[in-house]
Amino acid sequence: MPRLSPAIIALLSASALGQPAFAEEAFDVEAYDDSRTIIVTGLSDGYLATNSVTATKTDTPLMDIPQTINVVTRDQLDDQAHHSLADILRYVPGTTVGQGEGNRDQITLRGQNTTADFFLDGVRDDVQYYRGLYNIERVEILKGPYALIFGRGGGGGIINRVQKSPLSDDFVYAGQASINSMGAYDISADVNAPLSGSAAVRINAVYETFNNHRDFVGGARYAWNPYVAFKLNDAWKLGLSYEYVHDDRTTDRGIPSIAAGAGQPNRPIAGYRDQFFGVPGVNDTKLEAHIAKLRIDGALNSSLSFSGTILYGDYDKVYLNVYPNGAATAQNGTVALAGYSDPTQRENFIAQANLVWDLETGALMHKILVGTEYGDQKSVNQRFNGVLSTSTLSLTNPIFPSVSFNALSRDTASDVRFFSAYVQDQISLGDHVDVVAGLRYDNFDIGGTDLFPAVDWPFARKDEKVSPRLGLIFKPQENISLYSSYSQSFLPRSGDQFLALTVTQENLAPEKFTNYELGAKWDVQPNLNLTLAVFQLERSNATTPDPSNPVASINIGMTRTQGVELAATGKITSSWQVHGGYSYQDAKLAGNDSVRLGQVPKHQASLWNRYDLNDRFAGGLGIVHQSSQFAAIRTAANTTKLPAFTRVDAAFYYDLSDTLQLQLNIENLLDTNYFSDAHNNNNISTGAPINGRFTIKATF
């Protein structure tokens, strides 16, 4: 795969769509001065976010967006010492974390599992890897289909990370270091410097290690991200960003299941929380990524603005793994093993352009969005099956086998090209009624070659889809909104990662996601928000791999997820902040209520509290509860159930001075034995025991 020269990297670097060329310090509702802000994309006050450009590609208060949006601000990321998306999402009800085979982020939103519905500042970030938080200002979780704004996929929602950006008039030198009781540590820096009255640079960098409670599991990641922003004149801004990521860690696919008794689903095997079922020194995943972005935006006149983004990403990844390939024969019996190596190269080129027009027509106020998007994504993937010296592991005398990866089983190359055009109108019908309506046209064209077996087999598929969005908002008073919404998304038959298309899949229409939602949002006080949503999401044309022949698919018809979500975010008092919620999800195969979707617990609840005891000392307390869930992603293979669990976390904060802070986070305070997530029936992750992380922060 071609590499970028430093000159080309410098040319293409950028801030992403929806990201300002400059940002200001953390938003203070009372102190906010509009004259200092160049572009506002994510205003927040403590844990409470007040608006988003991401959800509509226009600067819109969350109160006026007719769908569920959860936001985790930088203040909360820091208070909870989050180091991964999985850390964050465990505290977001309605979102289930998957194991991702020990090599990637993988989640389930409203019953829809995905490895690709991730975005960075509104730009597609769909490669399979673990995403960092060192250079992130906040994380937005948008629920329900979002094809109008984001295109294909996004059936249950999307995850968007908002990047830190240069400050226009402040020198900031910040750093932190932390270590936990299992030996993992990290050190990071955040430096901002104005270069002149019209330019600034911000550099974020991190080095972190991944030791945990699991035997033989570790690794490290280092990354850095320089970001330069310019005011070209009073109306136009330019942002340039380049990120380099090097990630090397153990691939850990957890423990197997064991039979639970006649008529009962299997359960995770107990007593092997720390036991590694791979091969030490062999199980490994490596990623090297170069991500460059260029953004320009400005005002064409007083009512018309433009933004444009170019993104280039080059990703080189490989993972090798040996893993449990069946249930344990007995508590002290044996476990079948299998393994493979999977190298992938991906090149992404994505360009977006948007016009936002503020218009009055009589008594109606319009905010009209017109946009286009073009992308070219080239992928090369192979798979080599592992040949093991022994295919089982004894639980009484675990001796790891030797393994070689030289049996080619997959070899594909694909090129996806897509073009989209969309229009959306946000209409204000007086002071109390708003309408959001829009359509998106997508042309998705995939072509590729299956190079295995020896005779090359070309595959191709072209889809043209129109995705609608319609929302109605009624505001009986300024701090309350009641809404209804209807939206659709689609997923091509090549799936999330474009690896291959079988003859059968080539002839199948894309999967379709249809969402209906009713909700209410209430600003109880200016810095405390409550939300309620009732929804139904239907997935039609759904397929699942045939358990007896994984390269073939079974058409299972329609799945349906019905649910309720509640959330509370903000300050109950000037000293007490909260972020919490509850979700109920009933996810089933339509027409057969006995078949439940995997990795969708019926009940989830979480609550994080921070209480400032005085100007220097504060405490935090959190609780996460998740009811039982089936382990497998696929509908047709649910034979193992993960038990319910409740985990309690705590934190203590002490300011030594205005520039130096100490922090202690304690995870799993009550030392609960639990199973945090899974990939399938026999790849189940064990939750960490009680552990602490000590952090020291300095800001100048």
pLDDT tens figures, 595-622:
889 999 999 999 999 999 999 999 999 9
- pLDDT tens, position by position, 470-511: 999 999 999 999 999 999 999 988 878 887 777 667 777 889
Q: Find the range with the poorest average confidence among 327-341, 392-406, 506-520, 665-679.
A: 506-520
75, 121, 111, 69 alpha-carbon torsion, rounded to 10°: 50
Q: Find the range with the poorest average confidence among 249-253, 540-544, 552-556.
A: 552-556
Q: What is the pLDDT of residue 555?
A: 62
Cα–Cα nearest to 470, from 440, 429, 442: 440
369-to-160, 304, 381, 424, 428 alpha-carbon distances in Å: 20, 10, 37, 5, 14
Q: What is the pLDDT of residue 183?
A: 95
Cα–Cα nearest to 353, from 303, 443, 418, 422: 422
Bond before 453 cis per omega within 30 degrees: yes
Q: What is the pLDDT of residue 26?
A: 33
Instruction: Please check whether residue 277 is in contact with residue 335, taking contact to mean a CB–CB distance below 8 angstroms.
Output: yes
At 19, the pLDDT band (50, 70, 90 cuts) reads very low
Task: Considering only residues 309 and 493, tell me which one the structure prediction assigns the higher pLDDT.
Answer: 309
First to last CA, the chain: 42
Question: Per CATH, the architecture of 6-699 is what?
Answer: Beta Barrel (2.40)
Given a cut of 50, is residue 549 above it in pLDDT?
no
Instruction: Please check whether residue 630 is in contact with residue 604, taking contact to mean a CB–CB distance below 8 angstroms.
Output: no
Task: Considering only residues 637 and 399, tell me which one the structure prediction assigns the higher pLDDT.
Answer: 399
284-to-214, 279, 317, 321, 450 alpha-carbon distances in Å: 14, 9, 11, 7, 26
Residues 278-294: what's their mean pLDDT?
Answer: 97
Given a cut of 80, is residue 152 above it in pLDDT?
yes
Given a cut of 90, is residue 22 above it in pLDDT?
no
- pLDDT tens, position by position, 413-469: 999 999 999 999 999 999 999 999 999 999 999 999 988 876 678 888 999 999 999
Instruction: Please check whether residue 111 is in contact with residue 651, taking contact to mean a CB–CB distance below 8 angstroms.
Output: no
What's the sign of the alpha-carbon dihedral 679, 515, 53, 377? Answer: positive
344-to-141, 316, 381, 656 alpha-carbon distances in Å: 27, 6, 4, 47
At 41, the pLDDT band (50, 70, 90 cuts) reads low
Residues 316-322: what's their mean pLDDT?
Answer: 97
**Three-state secondary structure along 12-25?**
HCCCCCCCCCCECC
Q: What is the pLDDT of residue 498?
A: 83
Given a cut of 70, is residue 546 above it in pLDDT?
no
Q: What is the pLDDT of residue 635?
A: 61
| Per-residue tokens: 90 | 């465990």
Measure the CA angle with vertex 86, ends 258 and 498; round to 5°.
85
Rounded CA-CA distance 656/663 in Å is 11
Backbone torsions φ then ψ of 537, nearest 5 degrees: -120, 125
Q: What is the pLDDT of residue 553?
A: 53
Q: What is the pLDDT of residue 54?
A: 72
Rounded CA-CA distance 383/320 in Å is 10
Measure the CA angle with vertex 697, ends 694 and 700; round to 5°.
170
Q: What is the pLDDT of residue 6?
A: 36
Average pLDDT, the chain: 89
| Per-residue tokens: 376 | 């070219």
Q: What is the pLDDT of residue 556?
A: 64
DSSP states along 139-192: EEEEES--HHHH-S--SSEEEEEEEP--BSS--EEEEEEEEETTS-EEEEEEEE
111, 115, 119, 120 alpha-carbon torsion, rounded to 10°: 140
Q: What is the pLDDT of residue 42?
A: 60
What percent of the chain has pLDDT above 70?
91
Rounded CA-CA distance 524/504 in Å is 53
Q: What is the pLDDT of residue 52?
A: 80
Q: What is the pLDDT of residue 38?
A: 34
At 13, the pLDDT band (50, 70, 90 cuts) reads very low
Given a cut of 90, is residue 691 above it in pLDDT?
yes
At 637, the pLDDT band (50, 70, 90 cuts) reads low
Q: Find the range with the poorest average confidence among 221-230, 588-597, 657-666.
A: 588-597
Residues 527-542: what's their mean pLDDT?
Answer: 93
Q: What is the pLDDT of residue 31?
A: 34
Q: What is the pLDDT of residue 636?
A: 58
Query: If DSSP codes are grouped into helix, strand and coil, which group holds residue 643?
Result: coil
- pLDDT tens, position by position, 347-390: 999 999 999 999 999 999 999 999 999 999 999 999 999 999 99
Q: CB under 8 Å to 410, separation ≥6 — which residues?
A: 381, 382, 383, 452, 499, 500
- pLDDT tens, position by position, 199-224: 999 999 999 999 999 999 999 999 99
